[in-house]
Amino acid sequence: MALRLVAIWILLTLMCSGVPAAEDECKFHDEHLERAINSFIEKLPAERSETPDKDSETPEEVDIIDFKFFGLNSFRPFGPFLTFCRDGSRFVQFDMVNKRPLILAGTIKGNDSSTNELLSRALLVRFTAQFEVEGTGEDVKIHPTVNMPVSMVGLSMLLKTVDKETKEDIGIILHSPKPHFIRGLWHGMLFSELDKLLEKFCRNNKCIPG
C-alpha cells in the first residue's frame, strides 16, 4: 500500500511539473514577435488597385469592373497580443483597427454611353488577425492564417452615373443604401484583399512555408 502511494505521488509530481513548462512554451510574446508582426502591417499600402477575379468576393447585385482601397496603411494593432498553442502549433492573435477612414472607390458596368462610379467610406473597421508562429528570438517566423471581422462603424456609400466621354456626372443612382448591403460589400471585398496582401507579403518576408 505504501509503495502504491509513493508511486502515485511521484506520478502526480511529474505531471504537475510538466504543466508550467507547457504553459511557458505557449507564452512567447516578445519584442521579436512584435517586430515581425509590425513589419507585416507596415507593408499595407496607402492605395490598393484591383480588378475582380473569380476569387473576389464582390456582391452579386453589382458588376464591378475595377476598384481601389485607400488608407489600408493606417491599420494598427489594438489591444493585447494573445499567444496560445493548438495541436502542437503556436499562434498569436490580436485585433486591428484603422487610424484614418478607409475609402473604397470602384467602377461598375452601366449602359453603352455611361459607367457607374461607386464611392464608399468606413470610419472605423476592427478585425481579429491570427498568425501561426515558428521559431523564437531573431529567428521567429510568422504566417497569416485568418482575418475575422469584428465591427464596422460609420459606413456610407454613393453610386453615381458618369458619361464615358465627358466624364461628367449624369446623376446619382443610390445614396446611402441599406446598411446590410454596404456591410456585405465591405466584408467581402476588404477581407479578401487583406488575405491576398498578407499572403503576398509572406512570400517576401519571414514566413513559415505554406
- Tell me what pLDDT residue 4 has: 56
Provide the phi-psi class of 71: left if phi over 0, else alpha when psi is between -120 and 50, else beta. left
The rounded distance, in Å, linking the Cα atoms of 73 and 92 is 21
Read off the pLDDT of residues 65-80 as tens digits, 9 standing for 90 and up: 789 999 999 999 999 9
If one compares 116 and 149, the residue with the highest pLDDT of the two is: 149
The share of the chain scoring above pLDDT 70, in percent, equals: 71
Planar angle of CA 197, 199, 205, nearest 5 degrees: 100
Q: What does each C-alpha distance from 44 to 33, 170, 176, 190, 196 come to in angstroms?
A: 18, 35, 28, 12, 11
Compute the distance between CA of residue 28 and CA of residue 210 in angstroms, rounded to an integer: 22
Residue 155 has pLDDT above 50, yes or no: yes
- Cα–Cα dist 154/19, whole Å: 46
Q: Is the pLDDT of residue 13 over 60?
A: no
pLDDT over 90 (residue 158)? no
pLDDT, tens only, 86-99: 999 999 999 999 99
Furthest-apart CA atoms within the chain: distance in Å = 97
**DSSP-derived 3-state class of residue 181:** helix
Is pLDDT above 50 for 19?
A: no
CATH topology of domain 28-203: Bactericidal permeability-increasing protein; domain 1 (3.15.10)
How confident is the model at residue 65, as a pLDDT? 79
Say whether 183 sits in a helix, a strand or coil.
helix
- Please choose, from the candidates 206, 199, 208, the residue with its C-alpha nearest in 3D space to the C-alpha of residue 44: 199
Residue 98, φ and ψ in degrees, nearest 5: -90, 140
Of the listed ranges 12-16, 45-49, 163-167, 170-174, the one predicted with least confidence: 12-16
Cα–Cα dist 193/210, whole Å: 18
Give the torsion sign (CA, 163, 167, 170, 173).
Answer: positive
As beta bridge partners, residue 49 has: 68
